[in-house]
Structures are given as structure tokens and as C-alpha cells.
Amino acid sequence: MTEEQKQQTRDRIGQRIATLRKLAGMSQEQLSERAGLQRTHVSRIEAGKYAVTLETIQAIAEALGMTVDIIDPGLQDLAPLKRLTSSLRHQTSKKLNPLKRIRNGKS
């Protein structure tokens, strides 16, 4: 695995953790307290700056009320997660539309 691939993996894991944390309605501080981590550590993980250990991922998953399963037949159907992701993108886009109009000089 190249360094670039490793970074892409760290970025992907960090983004997934950030998304799941936000969906759970938690701040980084709340997640860090529940997982027994420093808030700055959670921040750096979400930013893709750290390669996390399985133990840290397990602690984060448990803090989010989830499990870490690498091979799980129940994970074959990712359609619900894809719908949720699409919905979040749409909501974010809707919230940014007024800002885009202001930026473009259309109020």
C-alpha cells in the first residue's frame, strides 16, 4: 500500500467517524469522553491525521452505540447507508443555497 493509499484510508475512516458522530448528535468532546480519548485525538482522527488502532476504532464504535465487524453478512446491504448519505448531502446543499446566492450577488 502506498503512502497516498494509506492517507486516503485515514481520510475515509475519519470522514466516516465524523459522519456517524454527527448523526448521533454528538460533539467531538462528547464522543471523546464516551470513548475515553482526548478531544484533540478525535479531531485528528476525523481529519485523517492519525492511523488509528483497532482498539481506538472499537472504543469509538462503542461510544457511538455500534460494533466493529469486518466480516458481517448483515453489512452486505448498504442501501440504507447510501440513502442516508444522499439525504445528508441534499440537506447540506439546501442549507448552502442561500449562501451561494449571496456570494453570487442574488439575494
Q: What is the pLDDT of residues 36-88, one digit of tens each?
A: 999 999 999 999 998 899 899 999 999 999 888 765 555 555 556 666 666 66
Provide the pLDDT for residue 68: 83
What's the pTM? Answer: 0.65
Provide the pLDDT for residue 102: 66
Residue with the three cell numbers 476504532: 57
Residues in the chain: 107
Provide the pLDDT for residue 67: 84
